[in-house]
Amino acid sequence: MSFDRIHPWLLRAVWAALPFTAGPGLASALDGWAHPARTVATVGLWAGWGVVLVATLVPLPLGLTALRVGAPAALAASAAAASPVGAAWGVLVVVVAFLPATGLWCVNGTAYPNERRFPLRAPGWLLIGPLPIAWAVAVGGPVTGALLLAEKHWVAGGVVLAVGVALAVVLARALHGLSRRWVVFVPAGLVVHDHLALRDPVLFMREMVETLGPAPADTDALDLTLGSPGLAVELVLLEKVPMTLAGRGRQKGETGASARLMFTPTRPGAVLAEARTRRLRVAS
C-alpha cells in the first residue's frame, strides 16, 4: 500500500490523539489558573482541536489552512505548558501537517475528476519572517484578548480582542491564499494558478508544450518561483504565451510573454510523473 493511500488516516490519527498526548500536560498547566481564564482556555483548546479534526475528515484547501494554523498552535501550547510528551507529539503533528502529501491530498478535494492539482512551495521571502509573524498575530491576538476579558480587564481585553479578531480575519485570508497556489493538469494542458506570481491563472495548451522537466541552474526562463526553496520545474513552450505578472517577489527573464518559465511544486517528481501519464514530453 502506497504512503499516499495511508496518509489521510495517519493525519487523522495523529491529530485525534492530541487530547491523550498533549491534554494531560495542558490540564496540569491550567490547574493554577483562575476559574474564568481556565474555562476560556479549555473551551478554546477543545474548539480548536474540534475544528481541525473536522478539517482532517474531508480534504479541502480551507481544511489545509486550518490544519497548518492549528498544528503549530498545538505545539506552541504544549511548549508553553512545559509538557515534554505534548511538545514531542506537537512536533509530530506539525511534521505531518506540513508534509507535501498533506497539501496534495487537501487541494485535490475540490478538483474535478479529470484534474490533478499540485501545490506550490511558499515564497522564500515569506518563510524567513512574515509568515511566522502573521501566524503568531492571527492566533495570539484573539486568544490574548479573550484571556484578558476572562480576567476582567475589560478595556484592555476589549481593545485587544477587537483588534486581534480584525487582524486575524485579514491574516487568515492571506494564509489561506497560500493553500490555493498550485499547478493543475487538465485535459487541455497545464494551468499555473498562483496569485502571488500571476495576476490571472494561465492555461498552457498541450499542443504548445515542448518539454517539462527540472530547471537547469543556468536557465533564463521566466522565474515564477518567488525564491521558493526546492527543485524548480521548467516548462518550455513552442512559442511565447502572454502572461500578466502580479509584480510581487523576484522574477527574472521575460515579462509580458515568455516561451520558458519555471515554478517550484512541493512534489516535483509527482508533477513530472503526472506529465508522463498526460502524454507530455518530460525532459531528463
Q: Where are the alpha helices (DSSP H) in the chain?
A: 3-16, 18-21, 23-30, 35-57, 61-80, 84-97, 100-107, 124-127, 130-150, 154-178, 268-277
Q: Which domain holds residue 100?
A: 1-110
**Residue whose grid cell is 518567488:** 226
Residue 1 has what pLDDT? 57
Burial 45-80 (b: 16+ CB within 10 A, else e): beebbeebbebbeebbbebbbbbbbbbbbbbbbbee
DSSP-derived 3-state class of residue 257: strand
105 and 186 share one domain: no
Residue 256 has what pLDDT? 64
User: Is 69 within the bounds of a domain?
Assistant: yes
Q: How many CB atoms lie within 10 A of CB 201?
A: 13
Residue 137 has what pLDDT? 97
Among 79, 95, 110, give the residue marking a domain's end. Answer: 110
188 and 273 share one domain: yes
Beta bridge mates, 283: none
User: Is 203 within the bounds of a domain?
Assistant: yes
Say if residues 235 and 205 touch (Cβ distance below 8 Å).
Answer: no
Q: What is the pLDDT of residues 182-220, one digit of tens each?
A: 999 999 999 999 999 999 999 999 999 999 999 999 999
User: Is 163 within the bounds of a domain?
Assistant: no
Residue type, 36: P
Report the side by side order of strands in the sheet with 202-205. Answer: 116-119, 182-186, 189-193, 202-205
DSSP-derived 3-state class of residue 283: coil
197 and 102 share one domain: no
- pTM (2 decimals)? 0.93
User: Is 172 within the bounds of a domain?
Assistant: no
Domain count, the chain: 2
User: Is 129 within the bounds of a domain?
Assistant: no
4 and 106 share one domain: yes
* CA diameter of the chain: 68
Say if residues 226 and 125 touch (Cβ distance below 8 Å).
Answer: yes
User: Is 193 within the bounds of a domain?
Assistant: yes
Among 55, 82, 110, give the residue marking a domain's end. Answer: 110
Say if residues 171 and 138 touch (Cβ distance below 8 Å).
Answer: yes
Say if residues 267 and 104 touch (Cβ distance below 8 Å).
Answer: yes
95 and 191 share one domain: no
Which residue ranges of the chain lie beneath pLDDT 70?
Answer: 1, 247-256
Residue 241, sorted as left (phi over 0), alpha (psi -120 to 50) or beta, turns out to be beta
User: Is 232 within the bounds of a domain?
Assistant: yes
Residue 246 has what pLDDT? 87
2 and 103 share one domain: yes
DSSP-derived 3-state class of residue 153: coil
Geometric angle at alpha carbon 117, from 220 and 284, rounded to 5°: 45
**Taking the CA atoms of the chain, what radius of gyration do you get in angstroms?**
22
Among 46, 78, 110, give the residue marking a domain's end. Answer: 110
